[in-house]
């Protein structure tokens, strides 16, 4: 997706218009696509193969520091 | 800081209400924080990061919602799964792009392999894909009554750390009841835990 805008249509109801982005022209806006990424390559007629890790714990040191800070803050709440 | 709140249990779920009420109080006390709720109109538990059939829809309907006890908070129920609520929020459909997405409070723990399937976590991961920081919050479904306030208070304590973290940081917090001077119930404490 490349955009979304909300509009009230009456009373408390409304509608969010979706601007779809895609590497495939028939599906939507192709501007801004990286010509080397998987979607663009498929659109250009290639097959793509990409290794995925799925949902995994974030072990980066800078994120562990965030976790430690969060634990400290939350632990204060739980201290008797 | 502008915070987008969503969930997968639906905009009328008690967990979201508790979280929004806590955030509203926090924002009022702290000043300078804006809270926006864009959550699914229906229950999308287990939807992971699904956005549904977006290529068959040119628009998604929404309704303005009033959260009991937090009537001043701008809130919308969207006819869409949790991930799509985050996508439209990230694109500024309901005002400026949020700095942080908080998803929950989910009824039921989001731990181990269930993380992959959780709509609560799916929304948080979608936020990261859009360059935002996010926090998924869940509460164990037993015992009852559910102590939403415990999970909400932990979220409030964790939010500043997430907000100060690098973009695309995603944290998930799960708890049960707690015992402290601030919370009724019980909890052994907070620990950083590896995903099982």
pLDDT (average), residues B14-37 = 94
Chain A residues inside the 8 Å CB shell of B63: 12-14
pLDDT at position B155: 94
Query: Measured between CB atoms, does A73 come within 8 Å of chain B?
Result: yes
Provide the strand spans (E) within B20-86.
34-40, 59-64, 74-78
Measured in angstroms, the CA of B23 and the nearest CA of chain A are apart by 15
Listed residue (A17, A37, A14) closest to B65, CA to CA: A14
Q: List the alpha helices (DSSP H) in chain A.
A: 38-43, 61-78
CATH number of the domain enclosing B152: 3.40.1210.10
Let me know if residue B160 belongs to a domain. Answer: yes
pLDDT (average), residues B169-181 = 75
Query: Measured between CB atoms, does B184 come within 8 Å of chain A?
Result: no
Q: Closest-CA residue in chain A for B51?
A: A1
Domain count, chain B: 1
A66 vs B59, B61, B165: nearest CB = B165
Contact B154, B146 (CB under 8 A): no
pLDDT at position B192: 64
Let me know if residue B182 belongs to a domain. Answer: no
Residue B187 has pLDDT above 50, yes or no: yes
Query: Measured between CB atoms, does A74 come within 8 Å of chain B?
Result: yes
Q: What is the pLDDT of residues B115-137, one digit of tens each?
A: 999 999 999 999 999 999 999 99
pLDDT at position B181: 46
pLDDT (average), residues A68-73 = 91
A74 vs B62, B87, B154: nearest CB = B154
Let me know if residue B191 belongs to a domain. Answer: no
Q: What is the pLDDT of residues A1-40, one digit of tens each?
A: 888 999 999 999 999 999 887 766 666 677 777 778 787 7
Pairing of the two strands B59-64 and B74-78: antiparallel
**Which structural domain, as residue segments, surrounds residue B36?**
2-175
Measured in angstroms, the CA of A59 and the nearest CA of chain B are apart by 9
pLDDT at position B134: 96
Measured in angstroms, the CA of B13 and the nearest CA of chain A are apart by 19
pLDDT at position B185: 44
Residue B180 has pLDDT above 80, yes or no: no
Measured in angstroms, the CA of B95 and the nearest CA of chain A are apart by 9
Q: What is the pLDDT of residues B139-167, one digit of tens each?
A: 988 878 888 998 999 999 999 999 999 99
Chain B residues inside the 8 Å CB shell of A20: 54-55
- The rounded mean pLDDT for chain B is 90
Query: Measured between CB atoms, does A26 come within 8 Å of chain B?
Result: no
Q: What is the pLDDT of residues B44-87, one digit of tens each?
A: 999 999 999 988 888 999 999 999 999 999 999 999 999 999 99
Q: Closest-CA residue in chain B for A64?
A: B192
What's the rounded Cα separation, in Å, for the pair B114 and B117? Answer: 5
Let me know if residue B8 belongs to a domain. Answer: yes
Q: pLDDT band at B177, cuts 50/70/90? A: low
Q: Closest-CA residue in chain A for B165?
A: A66
């Amino acid at each position: 997706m490349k955009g979304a805008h909300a509009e009230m249509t009456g009373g408390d109801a409304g509608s969010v218009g979706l601007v779809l982005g895609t590497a495939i022209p028939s599906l939507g806006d192709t501007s801004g696509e990286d010509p080397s990424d998987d979607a663009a390559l498929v659109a250009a007629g290639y097959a793509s193969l990409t290794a995925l890790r799925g949902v995994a714990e974030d072990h980066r040191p800078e994120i562990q520091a965030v976790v430690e800070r969060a634990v400290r803050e939350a632990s204060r709440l739980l201290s008797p | 800081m502008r915070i987008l709140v969503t969930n997968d249990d639906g905009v009328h779920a008690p967990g979201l209400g508790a979280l929004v009420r806590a955030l509203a109080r926090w924002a009022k006390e702290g000043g300078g924080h804006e809270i926006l709720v864009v959550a699914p109109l229906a229950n999308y538990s287990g939807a992971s990061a699904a956005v549904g059939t977006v290529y068959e829809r040119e628009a998604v309907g929404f309704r303005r919602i009033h959260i009991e006890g937090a009537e001043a908070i701008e809130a919308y129920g969207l006819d869409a799964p949790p991930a799509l609520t985050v996508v439209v929020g990230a694109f500024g459909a309901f005002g400026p792009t949020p700095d942080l997405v908080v998803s929950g409070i989910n009824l039921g723990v989001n731990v181990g392999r269930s993380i992959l399937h959780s709509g609560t976590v799916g929304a948080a991961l979608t936020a990261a894909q859009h360059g935002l920081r996010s926090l998924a919050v869940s509460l164990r479904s037993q015992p009852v009554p559910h102590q939403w306030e415990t999970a909400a208070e932990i979220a409030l304590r964790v939010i500043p750390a997430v907000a100060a973290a690098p973009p695309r940081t995603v944290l998930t917090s799960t708890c049960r009841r707690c015992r402290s001077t601030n919370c009724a119930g019980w909890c052994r404490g907070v620990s950083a835990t590896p995903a099982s």
